[in-house]
Amino acid sequence: MALVPAITDLQELKNHPAVARLLDWNAEAVTGAKFDRDEMTIYVERDHIREACVVLKEDPACPFNFLSDVTCVDWYPSEPRFEVIYHLLSIPNKERVRLKVRLNSGSPVVESVTAVWPGANYFEREVFDLFGVRFTGHPYLRRLLMPEDWEGHPLRKDYPVEGYR
Amino acid sequence: MILNMGPQHPSTHGVLRVLLEIDGETVVRMMPDIGFLHTGIEKTCEAKFYQQVVPLTDRIDYLCPMTNNLCYVLAVEKLLGLEIPPKAQWLRVLLNELTRINSHLVWLGTHAMDIGALTVFLYCFREREEVLKIFEMASGQRMMTSYFRVGGIALEPPLGFFDRVREFAGYFPSKVDEYENLLTGNPIWAMRTKGVARMTAEDAIALGASGPTLRGSGVDFDLRRDMPYSSYEKFQFKVPVSQEGDVFARYMCRVQELRESIGIVRQALDGMPEGPIKADAPGVVLPDREKMKTQMEALIYHFKIITEGFAVPAGEVYQAVESPRGEMGYYVVSDGTAKPYRVHMRAACLANLQTLPKMCEGRLLADVVAAIGSIDIVLGEIDR
């Protein structure tokens, strides 16, 4: 499949089920959307992410009932620095969508979605461990992969690949 | 009493530490502790070229190395927009299914051994030996094959490869009958696995479980059939689903998957198309050695790919495949250079591990061992 240029205009993409549902619910929460390489990405405001997840999970037409993944990308040194990414899957409709929340390096805090999908527990712990993004409302936000007394967040771009001796 | 089922334990299949709060023989609370096998593979990927990441992916889920390879190269090919020739796609399916058989044989052998059926372990590893010899024939390596490349397969399979696979596919179903003979109707097996570690479908979906862990609870979802990749839509196979949601249900799912996988291998052998094994993309795919030694352009491409890598257009892709454990996903972010900006592996087992406390709390201590075996845990994938 040859590459097609990405579509980033929110108006052109508003017919996609997930975009339409979110725009219906709260148009200010959606700051942008992108359709690239057959994948839909929706940019959501940080304060509305948990409710947006609830809306998508309970959408009767296309329920995104399965949380595939929660991860993060560090765009140091550009701001906003962190991008927390949620991959959702709708098992009945066999559709995927990606939600993205942009966070500044000054306050990398976002609300946890463990209340929506309990399966987000370990994924959010891993993001906290490796990137330092805090999730408010998480039942047990502690380091997952690194030892408990580790200092620093290894997957940030200002942490060297070889680590510190 | 708080009991530590430490990282070194014969039944945890890797370095999994489980903290158990028990009251007599009953488990009151259970908390897994992981991170003992964390080697920073995701960070290392950011320092390597795209083609250098392939051997790293083998070692993530070390029981199904080709599945990891497949997921990663599919993600990068999606980023590049490459068209993969049909023969490469069918070979990938064939090897992927042999890898699934390999992984399920290890699962069956170790799971049965934990519960006490020691003979099954040796029977399964006898068949696994033949599959490992087949992999060694194709790629030179028994386990960490790194046989797939961005754009196709590394090398043409040698003469005699397909005959050997056909011979294996001929006798393997009777071996699965042997394993079922030993276990499925066995009353001791039934007492240890039926009704143990039950999980409902809603819980499984909410916790992110996938693969046989999800299908054992009645949810009919398989990425190979429902969101096909690498020409899986051309193969006919059934997806085994069980309704009870206990250890026995997951066991039946996986044993039937062994039979379905060998069926797919036979279909792949019968219908293998002719053609090249690498895509037509000289800037990405290494040229044949003969061409490299005689043509100047091929030599230059070879040199540039090895020393500078190939630049991938900026963007991001999430590619998911059906690994023997569930949905394995690779999220690759590119910033336009020859090194990936971020590679994230969605490990099927990390989500499946979250179901373990739900399954085991309120049950006996001995059932914890059966439950850990039934979710088919591989710490390499969890910890990366």
Q: Where are the domains of chain B?
A: 2-383
User: Distance between CA atoms of A125 and A134, rounded to whole angstroms?
Assistant: 9
Q: What average pLDDT is seen over chain B?
A: 90
All residues of chain A having their beta carbon less than 8 Å from the beta carbon of residue B208 are 66-68, 117, 119-120, 123
Count of domains forming chain A = 1
What 3-state class would DSSP assign to B18? strand
Q: What average pLDDT is seen over chain A?
A: 87
Under 8 Å between Cβ of A86 and A36 = no
B81–A37 C-beta distance less than 8 A: yes
For the entire predicted model, the pTM comes to 0.93
Put simply, whether A121 touches B (Cβ < 8 Å) is yes
**Quick check: is A70 in a domain?**
yes
B351–A73 C-beta distance less than 8 A: no
Per-residue confidence band for A1, with pLDDT thresholds at 50, 70 and 90 = low
Q: Note down pLDDT in tens along chain B; length 384 residues.
A: 898 888 888 877 788 899 999 888 899 988 888 888 888 899 999 999 999 999 999 899 899 999 999 999 999 999 998 889 999 999 999 999 999 999 999 999 999 988 888 899 999 999 999 999 999 999 998 999 889 989 889 888 999 999 999 999 999 999 999 999 999 888 999 988 888 888 888 989 999 899 999 999 988 899 999 889 888 999 999 999 998 888 999 999 999 999 999 999 999 999 999 989 898 888 889 988 888 899 999 999 999 999 998 999 999 999 999 999 999 999 999 998 999 999 999 999 999 999 998 888 888 888 888 898 888 888 888 988
All residues of chain B having their beta carbon less than 8 Å from the beta carbon of residue A67 are 208
A37–B383 C-beta distance less than 8 A: no
Cis-peptide into A63, omega within 30 deg: no
* Host domain of residue A86: 10-136
Structure confidence by residue, pLDDT tens digits, A21-76: 888 888 788 888 888 888 889 999 888 888 888 888 888 888 888 999 999 999 98
**Residues in CB range of B188: below 8 A, 6 or more apart:** B116
User: What's the confidence (pLDDT) of residue B15?
Assistant: 86
B354–A122 C-beta distance less than 8 A: yes
Put simply, whether B101 touches A (Cβ < 8 Å) is no
Specify the long-range contacts of residues B7-10, CB closer than 8 Å, at least 24 apart: B7/B36, B10/B114
- The encoded tokens of residue A63 equal 């329920």
User: Distance between CA atoms of B12 and B6, rounded to whole angstroms?
Assistant: 9
A146: closest chain B residue by CA: B35
**Quick check: is A164 in a domain?**
no
Strand partners of residue A39 = A36
What is the rounded average pLDDT of the residues A1-24?
78
**Quick check: is A151 in a domain?**
no
User: Distance between CA atoms of B320 and B317, rounded to whole angstroms?
Assistant: 10
B208–A117 C-beta distance less than 8 A: yes
Please determine, for the modelled complex, whether the ipTM score is greater than 0.85.
yes
Select from A3, A98, A161 the Cβ nearest to the Cβ of B47: A161
Location of structure tokens 């039926």: B194
Q: How far is A129 from chain B (nearest CA, A)?
A: 11
Task: Quote the percentage of chain B above a pLDDT of 70.
Answer: 100
What is the rounded average pLDDT of the residues A67-96?
90
| Most A CBs within 10 Å, among B17, B37, B38, B361, to test the A interface | B38
Q: Tally C-beta pairs within 8 A across A and B.
A: 103
All residues of chain A having their beta carbon less than 8 Å from the beta carbon of residue B42 are 130, 155
Q: What is the CATH code for B2-383?
A: 1.10.645.10
A87–B331 C-beta distance less than 8 A: yes
User: Distance between CA atoms of B353 and B208, rounded to whole angstroms?
Assistant: 10
∠ Cα B270 B276 B281 (to 5°): 145
Q: Give me the amino acid identity at A136.
A: T
User: Distance between CA atoms of A110 and A72, rounded to whole angstroms?
Assistant: 12
**Quick check: is A54 in a domain?**
yes
**Is 70 exceeded by the pLDDT of residue A144?**
yes
Location of structure tokens 């997957």: A155
**Residues in CB range of B90: below 8 A, 6 or more apart:** B231, B268, B271, B272, B273
**Quick check: is A149 in a domain?**
no
A147: closest chain B residue by CA: B35
A98–B318 C-beta distance less than 8 A: yes
What 3-state class would DSSP assign to B202? helix
